[in-house]
Amino acid sequence: MRTRVAVAAGLAAVVAAGGGASASTHKVKPVCNIVQGTTGDAPFDPTLGGLTAVNKAPDDPDGDILSADIASNAKYVTGVIRVKTLATPDTTFPEAHFYMLSWTAPGHSSPVYLGATVDPNPASAAYGPQFVFGDGGTVGPSLFAINYYNVGSAVKGTVDMKKNTITMSVPISAIKSYGKFTPGAAFTGIQAQSQALVNGPVLPTNVPGFGGSVAWGWQEDLDSATKAYVAGTPSCVKPGV
């Protein structure tokens, strides 16, 4: 899907009647699949849209995002991106992929992101896995170029080859300058993106004179949530490491 959660809180009601009291607690259904993708919409097209309908760009299952979630508690923000496969080797594209979950937090003008470089190909395994966070991510119109500002490497990440998931967690203490992340804060503009990298891994540190790092490649998939996530809301993703 190529497009851009209401908070619910447990309610404990105590009703007194005739000197007695009774309590009922309504459980909150966890938020799950806040970003929903579509199968088969991650073309690998190095011609930047030049392939004709006759010579349709092949779909890259390693870049095909099926769903994504974000969750938080008082200490961590955690994101999970689920893809069609993380099979090795990737027969569509022979290099690394970059996966990014981004959102905007209250009090900060540019998006915050969690990113992972994952390379399922043994011949170039030096490109990953690598996990970063930062802010100011921007996306080019065709060639997928993201500028990563204030790059940090405090992210703890895991890649599950069996479940085809990428999980990334960052301490709120590391990203507190990028907005408000305490329970009740609304995370808006949530997006999950994938990219076929051509310049290796995203640098874990800032480049002198540039202020960040740049990843070049081809956009393969981009999916957006239709609602916000409210920090602290129960999720099918467990925040933390």
Residue 199 vs residue 76, higher pLDDT: 76
The verdict on residue 35 lying in a domain is: yes
**What's this model's pTM, rounded to 2 decimal places?**
0.80
Range of the domain at 184: 30-230
d(CA 135, CA 107): 13
Residue 14 belongs to some domain of the structure: no
User: What percentage of the chain carries pLDDT values higher than 90?
Assistant: 43
In a domain, 92, yes or no: yes
pLDDT of res. 15:
26
Q: Where does the chain show beta strands of DSSP type E?
A: 11-17, 20-26, 35-36, 65-72, 76-83, 97-104, 112-118, 130-135, 143-152, 156-160, 165-171, 186-197, 212-224, 229-230
17 lies in a domain? no
Could you tell me the sign of the dihedral formed by the alpha carbons of 91, 94, 96, 100, in that order? negative
pLDDT of res. 143:
42
How many separate helices (H) and strands (E) can be counted in the chain?
Answer: 1, 14
pLDDT at 218: 79
The β-bridge relationship of strands 229-230 and 186-197 is antiparallel
Residue 46, domain member (yes or no)? yes
Please report which confidence band the pLDDT of residue 139 belongs to, taking 50, 70 and 90 as the band edges: very low
The count of structural domains within the chain is 1
Give the span between the Cα atoms of 91 and 59, in whole angstroms. Answer: 11
The answer to the question of residue 61 being in a domain is yes
In a domain, 10, yes or no: no
Instruction: Give phi and psi for 26, each to the nearest 5.
Output: -100, 115
State mean pLDDT over 155-172: 94
197 found inside a domain: yes
